[in-house]
Chains A and B, each alone.
Chain A
Amino acid sequence: MADDKKKPEELANISYRLPEKSWMDTPVDFRKGTYNYGAVAEKAKYLGLPHARKWQPMDADWQLPENWKEIILEGMRERLDKFRSFRIFMDICVRCGACADKCHYFIGSGDPKNMPVLRAELLRSVYRKDFTAAGKIMGKIAGARELTVDVLKEWFYYFFQCTECRRCSVFCPYGIDTAEITMMARELLNLVGLNIDWIVTPAANCFRTGNHLGIQPHGFKDSIEFAVDELAELTGAKVEAPINKKGAEILFVAPSADYFASPHYYTLLGYLLLFHEIGLDYTWSSFASEGGNFGLFHSNQVMKRLNAKIYMEAKRLGVKWVLGGECGHMWRVLHQYMDTMNGPADFLEVPKSPITGTVFEHAKSTKMIHIMEFTSDLIKNNKLKLDPSRNDHWNVTFHDSCNPARAMGLLEEPRYVIKACCNNFHEMPENTIREQTFCCGSGSGLGTDENLEMRLRGGFPRANAVKYNHDVYGTNLLLCICAIDKATLPPLMEYWVPEVDVGGIHEMVGNALVLKGETRRATDLRGTPYPEPEPAQSEGKEVAKDV
C-alpha cells in the first residue's frame, strides 16, 4: 500500500502476485483518497441522529456504542419485516454474476468487493448468520459470518462506494435493486452513528435554511438578483425573477448549486432567460431553495423531512403546480417517493403548461414535472425561436444522469432539446448511454475532495466513453441535467479528458434562444465572445420540424 515503507533492497524485489485469501478474511484498508470523512457531530445532532460523536474512518477505535451489534441486528430485523423488497433481495440472489462486471467502481478499481453481488454479500453474510436456519447451523459453509467491528468497517467502506446508480440492476435477471441494498446498509450504519459528512452536513443545512450550503433567504435573494443583473449585461434582457410570490401559477425549485457553483450557474441563466421569454407566471421560494435531497443518501426519514419543504412552500405560496430544474436525484425522490412520503398534494392541480396547454398526465399524482419535459414540450409546439448556430463553438455529447435516465426514464426529452439547440451533437457508444449509462462515479454523497482517488476510479468508464467521442468527433462539451454531475464531471474530465468541458442543457437553450427584440449577442452565457462575423440572429429558425 502507499504508506508502506520499504527498505531500498526490498524495492527491487516487488511481488506482483496478490496473496490468495477469502474475501471474508480480507479486512478493509482505509487508503487515503478512497473514503469519505465521518459526519461532523454538531450537524448530526442538529438532525437528531443517534450516537453523534467525533470520529473518523481512519481512527482505529470508532467509539461505537457498547451495544452496537444489538442495535444493528435489531435494525436489520425491523427492516426485513418492514420492507419486503429488502428480505427478497437478501434471499433470492443466485450469484449468477450478471451484475458482477457492470459496476463502474468494479470496472475502474478492479476491487472484487465492488462487484454488486459481492458488495451485497457483505450484508447477506450477516443476514444468513442471524436470520436463516442454514446460516445459523452451517456458518461459513452456508456463506454466513459473524458481525464484527471489521465487518462493520467493511460495510462503511463499500456501501459508501456504491453511488446507488442502479446500473447493475439493469442486468440482474431477478431485478435485484442493489441501490436499495445500499440504502438499507446505510440506514443500519446510521443507527450506530456512522455516516459521512458530505451527506449529513448538507442534509442538516437543507433542513435549517433550505439549501445545502446553508445560504439564508437574503443570501438566496442576492444570488438570484446577481444572476438577473449579469443577464442584463450579457443579453440586454431585463429579466424578472420573482421570489416567494404568492399566487404565482408555478413554483420553481432548482438544485442550489445552480445559483452558486460553476458551471451550474450558466444553466440558471438559461432558465431565467427562458421563463422571461415565454412570460411564465412563476416564483422561486427562498425556503424550498434546494431541489437536491441529501436525505435520499441517508435514510427514508431524513429524505421525507427535506422533501416536505417543497409541498409546504407550494401550499404556502398557493401555486397550482411545481416545476423542477436540472437535477438528478431530486427527480427520483419526487417521482418515486414524494407522493407517498408527503402527498397527496390535493391542494395542487395536475401540471398544465400555460404556454402550450399540454397537460402532464403522468404527474397527475405528484403535481411536479421536470424542466426537460416542460422545455421539450415548448419546442415541440413551436413556442421558442432558437438559433442553434450560437452553440456552434460547442461540439456536444450527452451524459444520461443515472437518476433521471435509468431510474425514471427521462431519455428522449433531453436529446430532443439538445438537437434543437445545438448543431454538433454526437451520442456516446450505445452501451454507455440511456439505461446503460455509466455513473459519474460521485453520486449519492460521494463527491468529496477527500474521496477523489476513488471517484477517479469509478468515473473512468464514463470518462473513457467521453474520450472516445473527443477523439472521434472532436467533442468538447459534456452536457448533463444533474447538479451532482455538473460538480463532479469537471474534475473527472480534467483528469481523463482535459479537452472536454461540462455544461447544462438549459445553458444551451439560453444561448440559442432568440429573444423578442433582442440586440445581437456579443458573447455566450459564459461570456465567451462569438467569433466574427457574428452568427445571424434575427433569423432564428423554427426548429420543431427539423428535430
Chain B
Amino acid sequence: MSLTSILKEKKSDILRIWFDAVLLSYPQDTANFLIKEKDRFANPVGFTYQHNMEIIFDSLVGTTDRDTVLPAIDNIVKIRNVQNFAPSQAVAIFFLLKQVIRQYTNEHIANGYRDDELLALDAKIDNLALAAFDCYSSLRELMGDIRIREAQRRIQKLMDRTNIFNDISDQEGDATNERT
C-alpha cells in the first residue's frame, strides 16, 4: 500500500492526532474549549484550525491546488501570529505533521511503504512550513503598515484641513503645466 493511499484512508485519524498535537501549545482549559465547542462563531480559532488543517492535509495527497492551500496556511498563521507564540512556535505546527504521520504509520500500518515516498512527503511538508514562514513575515509587515495607517486615519481630516501634507497629486496639474 502506498503512503498516499494510507494517508487518504486514515485521513480523519491523522487529522485528529495532528489537531491534538497543535492543542498542546495551548493551556489545558483552552485546549478543551478549542476542541469541544463546535459553533464556528463561538469558537473561531478551533474552527479555523480544523477547517484549514484539512485543506492543508489534502494538499499532501495531491487533491488540493496551491491557490487553495496558501489561503488555508494564511488563515492559521494569522491566528498564531497574534497569539502568544514565538515565530518558531507559530509555524512549528506544520513540522508536527512529520512526527504525527511517522508515529501513526509505525503504530498502525503493518506493511511498510517505500522510503522515497516518505522523503517526498517530508519535502512537501517542508514546503508548507516555508510558505507558513512567508505568511508570518508578511503579516508582521502588514501589522507595521496597519499601525501607520491607523495613526494617519486618527487625524486624517485635521491634516486635510491644515494642509500639512501637500502631496504630489495636489500639484500634478501644476507640474504638467510647467512641462508643457
Chain A contacts to B: CB under 8 angstroms: 1-2, 4, 6, 11, 14, 16-18, 20, 29, 31, 34, 100-101, 106-112, 115, 213, 215, 222-223, 226-227, 257, 259-263, 265, 429, 431-432, 449, 452-453, 456-457, 460-461, 464-465, 468, 487, 490-491, 494-496
Q: Mark B143-164, 1 if CB is under 8 A from A, else 0.
A: 1011101110111111011000
B92 at the interface (CB under 8 A from A): yes
Q: Mark B32-47, 1 if CB is under 8 A from A, else 0.
A: 0110010111111100
Tell which of B44, B154, B158 has the most Cβ of chain A within 10 Å: B44
Q: Which B residues, 1 to 52, have Cβ-Cβ distances below 8 Å to chain A?
A: 21-22, 24-30, 33-34, 37, 39-45, 48
- Are the CB atoms of A457 and B83 closer together than 8 Å? yes
Given the contacts A110-B34, A460-B45, A495 and B142 also touching, CB distance less than 8 Å: yes
**Cβ-defined partner of B142 (8 Å) among A265, A431, A494:** A494
Known contacts A452-B143, A452-B146; 12 additional CB pairs below 8 A are A31-B84, A106-B30, A109-B83, A112-B30, A215-B158, A227-B157, A260-B161, A457-B82, A461-B41, A494-B142, A494-B145, A496-B78
B60 at the interface (CB under 8 A from A): no
B63 at the interface (CB under 8 A from A): no
- Are the CB atoms of A260 and B84 closer together than 8 Å? no
- Are the CB atoms of A257 and B146 closer together than 8 Å? no
Q: Which 7 A-B pairs have the closest CB atoms?
A: A464-B44, A262-B156, A110-B30, A260-B158, A449-B147, A456-B82, A16-B24
B88 at the interface (CB under 8 A from A): yes
B79 at the interface (CB under 8 A from A): yes
Given the contacts A431-B41, A453-B82, A14 and B153 also touching, CB distance less than 8 Å: no
- Are the CB atoms of B92 and A468 closer together than 8 Å? no
Question: Contacts of A115 on B, CB cut-off 8 Å?
Answer: 29
Question: Contacts of A108 on B, CB cut-off 8 Å?
Answer: 44-45, 82-83
Main secondary structure of the interface of A (DSSP, over half): helix
**Cβ-defined partner of B161 (8 Å) among A18, A101, A226, A262:** A226
- Are the CB atoms of A453 and B156 closer together than 8 Å? no
Q: In the assembly, what is the distance between CA of A260 and CA of B154, in Å?
A: 7
- Are the CB atoms of A494 and B149 closer together than 8 Å? yes
Q: How far is the CB of B32 from chain A (nearest CB, A)?
A: 10
**Cβ-defined partner of A491 (8 Å) among B24, B83, B150:** B150
- Are the CB atoms of A265 and B146 closer together than 8 Å? no
- Are the CB atoms of A16 and B25 closer together than 8 Å? yes
Q: In the assembly, what is the distance between CA of A1 and CA of B142, in Å?
A: 21
- Are the CB atoms of B78 and A495 closer together than 8 Å? yes
Q: In the assembly, what is the distance between CA of A495 and CA of B75, in Å?
A: 11
Question: Contacts of A260 on B, CB cut-off 8 Å?
Answer: 154-158, 161
B89 at the interface (CB under 8 A from A): yes
Q: In the assembly, what is the distance between CA of A257 and CA of B21, in Å?
A: 46
- Are the CB atoms of A2 and B41 closer together than 8 Å? no
Q: What are 5 A-B interface contacts by the 8 Å CB criterion?
A: A4-B86, A101-B43, A107-B45, A464-B40, A465-B41
**Cβ-defined partner of B84 (8 Å) among A1, A106, A496:** A1
**Cβ-defined partner of B88 (8 Å) among A6, A452, A456, A465:** A6
Question: Contacts of B155 on A, CB cut-off 8 Å?
Answer: 213, 260-261
Q: In the assembly, what is the distance between CA of A456 and CA of B142, in Å?
A: 12
Question: Contacts of A494 on B, CB cut-off 8 Å?
Answer: 142, 145-146, 149
Question: Contacts of B34 on A, CB cut-off 8 Å?
Answer: 110
Q: In the assembly, what is the distance between CA of A496 and CA of B153, in Å?
A: 18
Tell which of B30, B43, B86 has the most Cβ of chain A within 10 Å: B30
Q: How far is the CB of A24 from chain B (nearest CB, A)?
A: 14
Tell me the nearest residue of chain A to B147, going by C-beta: A449
Question: Contacts of A2 on B, CB cut-off 8 Å?
Answer: 85-87
B96 at the interface (CB under 8 A from A): yes
Q: In the assembly, what is the distance between CA of A461 and CA of B154, in Å?
A: 24
Tell me the nearest residue of chain A to B86, going by C-beta: A2
- Are the CB atoms of A223 and B161 closer together than 8 Å? yes
- Are the CB atoms of A262 and B157 closer together than 8 Å? yes
Tell me the nearest residue of chain B to A102, going by C-beta: B42
Q: In the assembly, what is the distance between CA of A115 and CA of B82, in Å?
A: 18
- Are the CB atoms of B41 and A468 closer together than 8 Å? yes
Question: Contacts of B25 on A, CB cut-off 8 Å?
Answer: 16-18
Question: Contacts of A213 on B, CB cut-off 8 Å?
Answer: 155, 158
- Are the CB atoms of A461 and B44 closer together than 8 Å? yes
Q: In the assembly, what is the distance between CA of A34 and CA of B87, in Å?
A: 15
Question: Contacts of A100 on B, CB cut-off 8 Å?
Answer: 29, 33
Question: Contacts of B82 on A, CB cut-off 8 Å?
Answer: 108, 453, 456-457, 460, 495
Question: Contacts of A14 on B, CB cut-off 8 Å?
Answer: 88-89, 92
- Are the CB atoms of B26 and A18 closer together than 8 Å? yes
**Cβ-defined partner of B154 (8 Å) among A215, A261, A460:** A261
Tell me the nearest residue of chain A to B154, going by C-beta: A261
Question: Contacts of A496 on B, CB cut-off 8 Å?
Answer: 78
Question: Contacts of A110 on B, CB cut-off 8 Å?
Answer: 26-27, 30, 34, 45, 83-84
- Are the CB atoms of A431 and B39 closer together than 8 Å? yes
Q: In the assembly, what is the distance between CA of A468 and CA of B75, in Å?
A: 13
Q: How far is the CB of A141 from chain B (nearest CB, A)?
A: 21
